Amino acid sequence: MEFSLSVEQRMIRDSARDYLAVHSDSAAVRRATESRPAHDDALWRAIAGELGWCGIALPEDAGGAGLGVPELALLQEQLGQRLACVPFWSGLCLAAPALQASLGPVDSTPWLARIAAGEARATLALPEDGGYWFDCVAVHADPAADGFVLRGAVAQVFDAAGADWLLVPARLADGAPALFLLDLGDLGADDRIVLSPLDTIDRTRPLSALRLDGLPVPSVACIARGEAAAHGLAQAWWHGALMLAAEQLGAAQQCLDLTVVYAGERIQFGRAIGSFQAVKHRCAQMMVAIEAARSAVHGAAQAWASTGPETARRDIAAARVTADDALRFCAQEAIQLHGGVGFTWEYDPQLYFKRAQAATHWLGGTPAALAYIAATGPDAWREA
């Protein structure tokens, strides 16, 4: 069994926790979100540089540390706890696995090497209706003289501002799946690609709308097609869903931590409010939701590592449901139990509530996860 964390895993978790507590505290998050799009550049330089987090789960051939999904989930949890304003999830949990799965271990290495070294930031334009299959893709690639012409729109792309590479799933003229890699540095001045930053309620994860108005791209921009591209999108989606659940788990934990501290300090009727059962029990329920999510997230991560991504999908769906429940519940309770200051701009619960509301819809959220479980349910469900 792999359920106690190894010494190395504990080190990864604890050092990330300690580092982020100092370098991505509430003040840092607030500073980063004052400018839009929010980006904590100093933190990102550290993550991509001295801390080496970008390479943690990437192959050693690409200069990474070659660790696995469980270790990456531990990092994601800590980043989620601090709402760190860095493009880590979009780059390392969505774009990198898309490259890895669609190009294969050899061909993806040059791309992953630059990501691992922190030299290139990538993001993935996920189809907007929350699915991981190409039927949802609304970008079309028509053949042109030297390559393709891209048309279509994606309503929300994570962390596109400042990204070097934009991965765009598109459908070819015959309907076949394809994955394009656009180098945004080269395309900066082209008005046939428009990335418009969106004003968002949750300011900690920037979103942009993507429009492609007949953008010509060379044929090398199409880095995968057919089964490989479909596999890449699916793999990225499930990997991203698991890592999003880890992030939600961390954010829920911070809601509880903030609340327990506050309930221990706030005095009413001559007692700390944390001594009232009405308050205490709500905190205990938050902890139940959080530990349930922790079991589901780490269980799904272990399943991915030991039995493979395909068989882990239902577990990921379960983790997504459980972590989504936990964060929504904990963010709501954090506001309630902070009382009057809970709904102010000054106190932190609002930051987590907004993230909870945004994240609940990413990658299809709970409805997509439940639909997946119901549709693929265990064999015994089909008898009768």
Distance from C-alpha of 384 to C-alpha of 313, rounded to nearest angstrom: 25
Piece of the chain touching another protein by CB under 8 A; list 122-130, 140-148, 182-190, 268-276 = 268-276
Distance from C-alpha of 339 to C-alpha of 266, rounded to nearest angstrom: 10
Establish how many alpha carbons lie within 13 A of residue 265's alpha carbon, considering only the half-sphere containing its beta carbon.
Answer: 8
φ and ψ at 317, to 5 degrees? -60, -45
Piece of the chain touching another protein by CB under 8 A; list 220-228, 241-249, 274-282, 350-358 = 274-282
**b/e string for 151-160 if b means 16 or more Cβ within 10 A?**
bbebbbbbbb
Dihedral angle of Cα 294, 300, 302, 304, to the nearest 10 degrees? -150
Piece of the chain touching another protein by CB under 8 A; list 74-82, 94-102, 121-129, 289-297 = 289-297
Closer residue to another protein in complex, CB, 156/295: 295
Residue 319 CB, nearest approach to another protein (Å): 8
Nearest CA to 121 out of 68, 157, 153, 80 is that of: 157
Binder to another protein among 150, 179, 283, 327 (CB under 8 A)?
283
* Alpha-carbon separation of residue 148 from 111, 123, 245, 289 (angstroms): 21, 21, 36, 48
- Both tokens of 156, joined, read 């929300």
Residue 346 CB, nearest approach to another protein (Å): 24
Binder to another protein among 322, 333, 349, 362 (CB under 8 A)?
322
Q: Which residues contact 17 (CB under 8 A, 6 or more apart)?
A: 78, 81
DSSP state of 84: -
Q: Which of residues 50-109 bind another protein (CB under 8 A)?
A: none
Does 110 sit near another protein (CB under 8 A)? no
Does 2 sit near another protein (CB under 8 A)? yes
Piece of the chain touching another protein by CB under 8 A; list 79-87, 106-114, 339-347, 366-374 = 366-374
Does 287 sit near another protein (CB under 8 A)? yes
**CB of 290 within 8 A of CB of 255?**
no
Residue 3 CB, nearest approach to another protein (Å): 4
Does 263 sit near another protein (CB under 8 A)? yes
Does 299 sit near another protein (CB under 8 A)? yes
Helices (H) and strands (E) counted in the chain, each on its own, are 12, 10
* Interacting residue ranges for another protein, rule: CB under 8 A: 1-4, 256, 260, 263-264, 271-272, 274-275, 277, 280-281, 283-285, 287-288, 291-296, 298-300, 302-303, 306-307, 314-315, 317-319, 321-322, 367, 369-371, 373-374, 377-384
